[in-house]
Chains A and B, each alone.
Chain A
Amino acid sequence: AQTVTQSQPEMSVQEAETVTLSCTYDTSENNYYLFWYKQPPSRQMILVIRQEAYKQQNATENRFSVNFQKAAKSFSLKISDSQLGDTAMYFCAFMKVFQRTGNQFYFGTGTSLTVIP
């Protein structure tokens, strides 16, 4: 079974500063996908960034980047130049490479991020 752990229930950061959210996971799979989803107060689930486990290069999307350490099973999210709109719950998620079954996401418990003006 896969498990995803987010050890930081709440975090805060000053506007324009950088913050890192941590995520660790446990799996026996060799190839898989990892994701960060953002859930603002509207409760919409928005994809922030995704990473394929076989790719060594860390994914980046504008101000968002990840530090993927496969051996350590760690997948942290770095948000640079934090903006007020980044205030949200952030979920780390794991998914196996597509198979006919077993494709559900395994979510962490979330980190509530508050960006302070």
Chain B
Amino acid sequence: AAGVIQSPRHLIKEKRETATLKCYPIPRHDTVYWYQQGPGQDPQFLISFYEKMQSDKGSIPDRFSAQQFSDYHSELNMSSLELGDSALYFCASEEAGGINYGYTFGSGTRLTVV
């Protein structure tokens, strides 16, 4: 079965650089969520999209932005990277109101800022 695809799997950036994380949801899933998980922490909600429009915003820094495209894939853009941005970034997708409620998570992108 198709899963949520995230790319890249690993990313190393220097401070003040920019990073772009991509997420390809499961076909027919119209809702995408982004989470940030620091070392030893539970996932923290960043932002979500429903039908290509932002639906909710969590603890996402102003340096970050995201969007969902016409093919429902989503990109998280992170600028002026800081050491504290080093984390595992999860994307999850869902079919809004579908019978299989709940998220399917991607494998995550591990971002290391040096």
Contacts and interface: CB of A to CB of B under 8 A. Distances in A.
A and B: interacting chains: yes
Contact of A102 (B35, B56, B107): B56
Given A45-B90, A98-B96, A105 B103 contact: yes
Contact of A44 (B42, B102, B107): B107
Contacts of B45: 104-105
Contacts of B56: 101-104
Nearest to B48: A104
Contacts of B58: 104
Interface residues of B, number: 27
B33 interface: yes
A98 B104 contact: no
B108 A109 contact: no
Contacts of B103: 45, 47, 105
Interface in A71-117: 91, 95, 98, 100-105, 107-110
Contact of B55 (A103, A105, A108, A110): A103
A109 B43 CA distance: 9
Given A44-B105, A47-B104, 6 more contacts: A37-B105, A43-B88, A43-B110, A45-B108, A91-B42, A104-B56
